[in-house]
Amino acid sequence: MTVNEKIAKVRALMAENHIDALIIPGADPHLSEYFSHHWATVTYISGFTGEAGTFCITKDVAGLWTDGRFYTQADIELSGTDAVLFRASEPETPTIAQYLCDNLPSGSTVGINGTLFSAAYVKGLQEKFAAKGIALNSHADYANDIWEERPAEEHTVIYLLPEQFSGKSAADKLSELRRKLLEEGADALLISRLDNIAWLYNIRANDVLNNPVVISYAYVSQTEAKLYTDCSRLPLEVAVNLADNGVLVLDYEDIFSDLATSSQSLRLLCDESEANFNLYAAAAGNPNFTMLNKVSPIPLMKALKNEVETENTYKAYLYDGCAEAEFYAWLEEEMEAGTQLTEWDLSEKIHQLRMEQPDCKGDSFNAIIAYKENAAMMHYGPTAEKCKKLEKEGLLLNDSGGQYLWGTTDATRTIALGAISDEERRDFTLVLRSVIDLTNACWLEGTSGKELDILSRNNLWQLGINYRCGTGHGVGYLLNVHEGPQSFKTLVPLQEGMVLTIEPGVYTEGSHGVRTENTVVVRKGEKTEYGQFYHFETFTVVPIDTNCLDMNLLEDSHIDWINSYHAHVLATVGPHVSERAQEWLQKACMPIDR
């Protein structure tokens, strides 16, 4: 079926069941950013392949709400269909809830699948719709109902992350979590975020592409720790380890009945922004539970990497730097030989080279290999069928990363394949200045990433340029490449052990995109009479293409930083790569001056 035919079929089911609007999220029951193909319903219905989008179908309009990272991509992918793009990052664009209130008459009914929305979101819908006399049906799933060849969910073999990698046992983490729950006035915690569960129990799997998580729920009280998952894929070693750490393993769906029938009188902490509505409803319907809507302690615990995790991450970036050096040396040789390459060829090659590194478990996300104007789409991804051929000119962007037992990596470099324009050179240099200025930050305890963000954006703002995305994101440890609560968009104070990316960019639609991304960790600095100071240390060891620089836009301090960084890259990576890659590194890391 075409997109328009799918929309028409959904509308027919809506009419049959007296539903006036249907909201279809890009989500799974665990509200994951990345999820299995089983839950790629927005892509199936609309054709939009971006990572963040919600589709809403009414009798007259089929709209896709997505943010600024995906505007260009959505324009292209929705072209020729009845779907309309709503630019969610723009202040004049209404939310879906507001749009429906403005356009549906009183007495209408909106349908959702309640397992795919957070309890907080559904409660907000109910409150807003009630004021307009609009009803909400939380059991409408028509978009999935018409999906005839829907992929099954994958339940892969679960494996352990030993303490040499995790730094703490599951029992130690549970003990710390229980203390924090009591501090919050809670007796128990309901957990549905997959990365939180994997981190807490030191388990991993391959249930979601590039995200080594285990499809599961968890429940922790002062006396119990439960893991709800597909028990058939649990090796004996893992079962024994979990039991030794005080974890009971139960079937995935049992959590709903267990919550609904529990006879224990408990104060149950449930973060309504993380738990799906149906899961929350199962617990809230039990009169024995006193529900506490508070932020789970786990994300912050997980974000504060211990010293074992931090030191291991340096090794992960060494392996990743070796793969990148081999990649760029190969690319230079192939381009000089006149080999016809495509973006897809490069994404396949960088994957192959990472898999050759020790303890690599796969990619941390689908590689963004984008040439010329494709790089203006921040999260563009080539396919074998749809990719651009490379030429000896213009800019190429490589944003990719790997999953290692030693940590999760994410790095972006933009390189010149030949002559570039003055505008491209200016943008490249400004972006690099932004990286350097933020990397060199020193701040007092209590300062948030949002308060430091201007150090990155200021170089661009001076010329009336901005980027419609965050400056960076938290990174997990052999987990999701995007992790919170740390970022440059929130007011969460930056603390020692937090890992973040620094990745400003310039994206000129129809022309080019530039991004330079390093991953850093927060470290304690000097403590003075004014308090404790902090700074960043950089994990990434990949050269920056100095051929793209406009030296007139750099201060001496920037040049010194570049030369120092390249000396470090060469000394760190050089001894561990092939002769070809060593020769490439020597050239790429040569000192620069005016």
pLDDT tens across 345-400, in order?
Answer: 999 999 999 999 999 999 999 999 999 999 998 888 899 999 999 999 999 999 99
Round to the nearest angstrom and report the end-to-end CA distance of the chain: 60
Cα dihedral 307, 309, 311, 317 sign: negative
- Tokens at residue 537, please? 């240390």
Strands 266-269, 289-292: pairing kind: parallel
Contact 277, 369 (CB under 8 A): no
Instruction: Give residue 231's pLDDT band: very low, low, confident or very high (50, 70, 90).
Output: very high
Core vs surface per residue 412-435: b (16+ CB within 10 A) or e:
bbbbbbeebeeebbbbbbbbbbbb
Pick the CATH number of 304-588 from 3.40.50.920, 3.20.140.10, 3.40.190.10, 3.90.230.10: 3.90.230.10
Cα dihedral 485, 490, 494, 495 sign: negative
pLDDT tens across 124-151, in order?
Answer: 999 999 999 999 999 999 999 999 999 9
Does domain 159-294 match CATH 3.40.350.10?
Answer: yes
> What ranges do the domains of the chain cover?
3-145, 159-294, 304-588
pLDDT tens across 438-471, in order?
Answer: 999 999 999 999 999 999 999 999 999 999 889 9
Instruction: Give residue 50's pLDDT band: very low, low, confident or very high (50, 70, 90).
Output: confident
Core vs surface per residue 141-169: b (16+ CB within 10 A) or e:
bbbeebbeeeeebbbeebbbbeeebbbbe
Q: What is the reported pLDDT for 580?
A: 98
The yes-or-no verdict on residue 194 having pLDDT over 90 is yes
159-294 has the same fold as 3-145: yes
Lowest mean pLDDT among 85-89, 406-410, 499-503: 85-89
Integer Cα distance of 223 and 383 in angstroms: 49
The yes-or-no verdict on residue 594 having pLDDT over 90 is no
Pick the CATH number of 3-145 from 3.40.50.300, 3.40.350.10, 3.40.50.970, 3.40.190.10: 3.40.350.10
Residue type, 51: E
- Tokens at residue 333, please? 């040789």
Q: Cα-flanking dihedrals φ and ψ of residue 419, to 5°?
A: -65, 140
Cα dihedral 161, 167, 169, 174 sign: negative
Helix boundaries (H) for 360-472: 422-439, 449-452, 454-461
Contact 470, 452 (CB under 8 A): no
